[in-house]
Structure 1
């Protein structure tokens, strides 16, 4: 989550109440100093393949119940459940609804894509957006663009909810993505294909696929270069990541990104270094609030019959949840009057069967890995 400090000299919010007061200040106290009521306290995006990183609910919901922003599974003592039919989820929606009702959340947050969000964040001449949910500056602004707007936004830590819950979304399994390498039964050269696939997960290959050509987009670290963690660096990034380019896959395809080599291993070659700051902030302000890895759903494999059913249920259920988040928050659906109907609708969508299939796959995978 990003916020902007302009003329208000606000302290970083640490609770949901303080976050609410910060948004009110953005709206009511002319935070950009132009004597116009043009400030947008909080704005996000929810349309498009990468909009998950800009969704309004994820950062805020983690002050009420853990929200990974994706399928929203809960894992406790090896038992799988979902977050979005729990009383805590309803409490989180009530809080977000309050923000929206008081004009602190822009209505476009539920209908726009990231490109339009960037236009708001990069508003010419002066900033109008106070807080923006984002995974990195490139999710909301033009990194090292001519406006310099990306430098105006600073990360804030996870905020604490009214019952003391303070979580940070953690995706420990995204270092390698499933389903990006497939070999058919008609492949005439399986051994060579497997060697190629294995190489594509190599660290050097990832530098090429994610950044571009050696010498123009990146280079190996020089003697004495220090990484973000203070240890000897592995490589230098020569072109800011996220800039429009035509020589890399930009984190698509076969990747394997370890924290040590990939994130910490990038050389700090100028000061101030924004990525170094984000790395430090992550360690200091988010890492302490991440769940234990035993509470995070690992990648699972399903037999064909289950895979087909899961594909259908995944879309039906999660599309419904996403639509109801928007409807409850905007008031299109009455949270108090229609919550029970919402829960019953989820049950009617075979939510129980959905969880059972995941549980069966999880149990089978765990039994295999613990032998």
Structure 2
């Protein structure tokens, strides 16, 4: 398999030369090319205006400039469409990690009413292919989208002039005071795990007749890799209290109950992993995104709420947002201005060469 992959793909400097590929879906040139065509095929959407590439633009390292995904009939999701790069090494997909394989994941946006809004049978009929072929071809194409050979990679491999002095200072902060490697590790700069950084936490703001905010909880929007399939909202009062049940329209409109934290505390605008597991401890957890190409893939976080790398660095320097489930690795860093600038400069050095197949 490795020999076949080397013949098909040039793996950029900095990535693991071993690429995990399912035995039942080996990489072939025909599948990669068919997957590329399907990735850009707008027939896979209800209104004929949306393709996978609509939210994962190859010109932006397969990301979107929109804070949340925009699907058919201009329907707006609730999560950001992250960069689709180096997903061959992914172990869980979507921001809440609900799907274990690319072959399953690539079909979900087609079925999502806020994304492409087709049944799989309708999609297959439109393009004249069976569902299995669509799945295997799209997964193969996404598996072949690679990013590496960045200034950082060249520096690590012996070119000591590949990073500026400021970027080298940023690298030291990244590894040390910034504690970034607690989550952003390995060739893909992601531990492929889920963490609560406080990005989804919203402190209550007093208002007339109420001291609570009530955001809706349905995770419709986009997930890690491709736009996420819509799932039923979960009532906050039920998280951790057993199997999730479908909420009523009134529940979804109101946010469906209490955060369980007491009046005046706050709520999670998106429960993240807890929507999948129903566990209180998973509230507010989202999957660690890659940092490769990060300078080209704004906005940031699961909801696209931070517009710039400066904003991201400030967020973590301040210690994220305190909440009952905050990851123990998230704490105030108290970076000074020069350290923040150096860290941003280093993050920009992670942009390199993006390849998509042979």
Give the TM-score, by structure 1 length: 0.28
Higher Cα Rg: structure 1 or 2?
1
Give the TM-score, by structure 2 length: 0.29
